[in-house]
Chains A and B, each alone.
Chain A
Amino acid sequence: MSATDTTPASWVDVAYLITAICFIFGLRYLSSPKTARLGNRISAVGMLIAVLATLAQGIVNWWVIGSALVVGAAIGIVSAQRVKMTAMPQMVALFNGAGGGAAALVAAGELLKVFHANAIPTYDVSFTSVLSAVIGAISFAGSIIAFLKLQEVMTGRPITYPGQQFVNALIALVIVVCWGLVVANVPNSLEFFWIALVASFALGILFVLPIGGADMPVVISLLNSFTGVAAASTGFVLGNNVLIVAGALVGASGTLLTVLMGKAMNRSVTNVLFGAFGAVKPVAAGGAAKQQNVRSVSADDVAAMLAYANQVIVVPGYGMAVAQAQHSIRELADQLEKKGVEVKYAIHPVAGRMPGHMNVLLAEANVPYTSLYDMDDINPEFERTDVALVVGANDVTNPAAREDKNSPIYGMPILNVDKANNVVVLKRSMNSGFAGIDNPLFDDPKTVMLFGDAKKSIDGVVAGVKAL
């Protein structure tokens, strides 16, 4: 396995190289929806090659490995097929956590092997195995909390307590100190390794707790990147190049997405990493009372507005996912197009709970991806638009982000929904959005509100359009 000696490369390493190439091509083909499926399959073939090559190395505990492989595959495939598209973010979080946990345990296993042989680990091995264990454990625990929040087992609102950042910093310090002690190979360094592992697990939980549901796209990307780095680091521990390459690819992808999501929320990555998450305090109670000037209308009123428009832009948000309204929206768009109305979709980068969440849901409902527009492309269009139909989106349409310097989301790029001639907002109730911030859009004289479950509301509008 060594890269420095002159012995011929083993065929296993050649297989790993082929795998790495497959992964790169797999991601390369994701640059277009037309070739993306092929890419995913190339990547899967690469994975198969790596696993077969590893298994063929003469493994002893074949029953342990075989049964674990089969059980893991069965759970993975069945749950991946059954999961609803709206539940995709929590599914991705769960798989991410599984990968992070595995990376942490592999590194721990390697380090333990060295200690059990009563040998002293080299600095390279001890440094990188603690790194894998720490990042893997943070990713594992953080992903589980993200899963619980997205699945609404626990509240999606930020959970904060006094001294939160201090506690997190303290735990981080403990981890760094233990890390140093393991690398320095002090007596009982194995115990410090366990402390670092447990502390990382705790940090993973605590750092996701104060993060609200609307910030989930950033967190999921970040955790994805963590697991990638943990996998790469495990590659260093094992001296395994395919883990290093694959981990680096995933780490790069997760980091890029994190930066992108951060930009879409007007937050720097350091700001995302070190804590302003808890800074947005929910003001729900007061917020609901302040907005009194809203105009509520019926589904038939909305139907008439839409049917006589030239152009309608649909702005979907997390509310669409919750209500599973994507199919009804597609039907509405079909009916409107029959009447000669142009229908477009405006997708904010952080709408929903993960990057690209809305795109997947609309794709599920057979909305052609050519009708979906990014924020920068669609924003100039609102001025020429008769009706903007906001379905369960809130903060990403909030004009306060543009105008009110005191607003917590001031500076966040938004969809300029308020520039449209008319705005229809579909909402469950007058509760404020996830960030708990008032939305002046709802008070705007050209805005009307249609209250109720988004799917039922849209179905009502569809019936209204058909009746016209």
Chain B
Amino acid sequence: MTAHLLTELTIFILAVFVGMEVISKVPTTLHTPLMSATNAIHGIVLVGAILVAGAADAPFNAIVGFVLVLLASLNVFGGYTVTERMLQMFRPRVQAPKGPTDGTP
């Protein structure tokens, strides 16, 4: 194992602890939005996808790169949109008229 990998492992493990700490405070009523929000966050592979697609030098690699960025982009944009849509429904006791009240669908 290189020193570099060890540094990265340290970052990983500390991030796991931060994740556990932060996520254990999410109430059960928000568990679906939590799944959806974390779903959007792992869309960060889009960064890796762009790097790989950007380095593609042959047509086959370019096709793989396209699929790659497409999948990751679907993950990111779909994930955030769905989370936003869900979260805007959560209201305390308000007598709102039927349906969503603001522009964001």
A contact set with B: CB distance below 8 Å: 2-4, 16, 19-20, 23-24, 26-28, 30-34, 36-37, 39-41, 43-44, 47, 50-51, 54-55, 57, 59-61, 64-65, 67-73, 75-77, 79-81, 83, 85, 88, 91-92, 94-96, 98-99, 101-103, 105-106, 109-110, 112-113, 122-124, 220-221, 224, 227-228, 230-232, 234-254, 256-257, 347, 349, 354-357, 359-360, 363-364, 366, 368-372, 374
Cα A236 to Cα B2 in complex, Å, equals: 12
Contact between B83 and A31, CB atoms less than 8 A apart: no
Q: A68-B70, A102-B71, A106-B49 are in contact. Are A236 and B42 (CB under 8 A)?
A: no
Contact between A68 and B29, CB atoms less than 8 A apart: no
Give the shortest distance, in Å, between B6 (CB) and chain A (any CB).
Answer: 10
Contact between A77 and B49, CB atoms less than 8 A apart: no
Q: Which one of A3, A230, A355, A368 lies within 8 Å of B8 (CB-CB)?
A: A3
Give the shortest distance, in Å, between A86 (CB) and chain B (any CB).
Answer: 12
Q: A122-B2, A228-B38, A253-B23 are in contact. Are A73 and B80 (CB under 8 A)?
A: no
List 28 interface pairs A-B (beta carbons < 8 Å), by A numbering. Answer: A27-B19, A27-B26, A33-B87, A33-B92, A44-B40, A51-B47, A59-B54, A61-B56, A68-B53, A68-B67, A73-B77, A76-B73, A80-B77, A95-B78, A99-B71, A224-B42, A241-B8, A244-B12, A249-B19, A251-B19, A252-B16, A254-B38, A256-B23, A354-B35, A363-B29, A368-B94, A370-B92, A370-B93
Cα A284 to Cα B27 in complex, Å, equals: 36
Nearest opposing residue in chain A for B56, CB measure: A61
Instruction: Write out the residue numbers on chain B whose beta carbons fall within 8 Å of the beta carbon of A59.
Output: 50, 53-54
Instruction: Write out the residue numbers on chain B whose beta carbons fall within 8 Å of the beta carbon of A244.
Output: 8, 11-12, 15
Q: 3 shortest A-B CB distances, which residue pairs?
A: A72-B73, A252-B19, A356-B31
Contact between B37 and A30, CB atoms less than 8 A apart: yes
Q: A47-B40, A252-B19, A372-B29 are in contact. Are A363 and B73 (CB under 8 A)?
A: no
Contact between A109 and B61, CB atoms less than 8 A apart: yes
B contact set with A: CB distance below 8 Å: 1-5, 7-8, 11-13, 15-20, 22-56, 61-62, 64-94, 96, 98, 105
Contact between B27 and A31, CB atoms less than 8 A apart: yes
Q: A24-B22, A64-B53, A65-B54 are in contact. Are A106 and B68 (CB under 8 A)?
A: yes
Cα A349 to Cα B49 in complex, Å, equals: 36
Contact between B83 and A40, CB atoms less than 8 A apart: yes
Give the shortest distance, in Å, between B15 (CB) and chain A (any CB).
Answer: 3
Q: Which one of B8, B20, B47 lies within 8 Å of A50 (CB-CB)?
A: B47
Cα A40 to Cα B41 in complex, Å, equals: 10
